[in-house]
Every structure is written in C-alpha cells, then in structure tokens.
Amino acid sequence: MIERVVLIKLKPEFATDEQRAAIAETTAATLPQAEGVRALRIGTPADARTRRDWDLCLQVVLDDVDAVERYRVDRVHRAYADEFLKPLMAKIHVFNFERFEAVAVS
C-alpha cells in the first residue's frame, strides 16, 4: 500500500478556519471518486506553528505505485487539483510512502 501525503498552503485570502473546513468538505466528497483511492484522511492544523506553514494535510491510500500514476491522471483527480484546488493554493508538497500498520503502544 502507498500512503500519498499532500501538504497544502492556501493563499492568504483562503487561509481561514471556515475556508479550510469548506475545502476539506469538498475534498471528502470528491477524491474518493478518483480511481484507486482506498482511503482518504484530511487534517487541518492542530497548532499555531503548523498553521503558519500548512493549511491542509491529505493522506490518500492507494494500492501501489502504479495506482498512484493512474490516480494522478484520473479525470476526477485532475479536475479537483486543476480547477478546484489550484486557484486556492500558494504551494503544495506531495510525498509517497510505503504504508505499514502502526503498532499499538500501551
């Protein structure tokens, strides 16, 4: 499994709690429809330090690296990224990680 981590910094005029929530809602309604998406998690900053640098964190789970490439060119993902998100964001960083299960600590 691949965990695709996407960090998004919004343009200042969109970097409000209300806008973050609205973007998260649209993201949750849209990205699960893209090819290969097994799971999606969306986070907003938990502290002031994070809020200075990033506004949203998306974690998209896909089967493998080939699935990542299919996802990247999928029409749902392209419309979301190019038409919805791109006009709102100042920068984006994307990373793909091999996923492993967390170990519970008592």
User: pLDDT, tens digit, for every residue of 7-43?
Assistant: 999 999 999 999 999 999 999 999 999 999 999 999 9
Backbone angles phi, psi at 16, to 5 degrees: -120, 160
pLDDT tens-digit profile of 51-67? 999 999 999 999 999 99
pLDDT of 105 reads 79
Which CATH number among 3.40.30.10, 1.10.579.10, 3.30.70.100, 3.40.50.150 corresponds to the domain 2-98? 3.30.70.100
Residue 104's pLDDT band, with cuts at 50, 70 and 90, is confident
Q: Name the amino acid, one letter, at 80.
A: Y
pLDDT of 103 reads 74
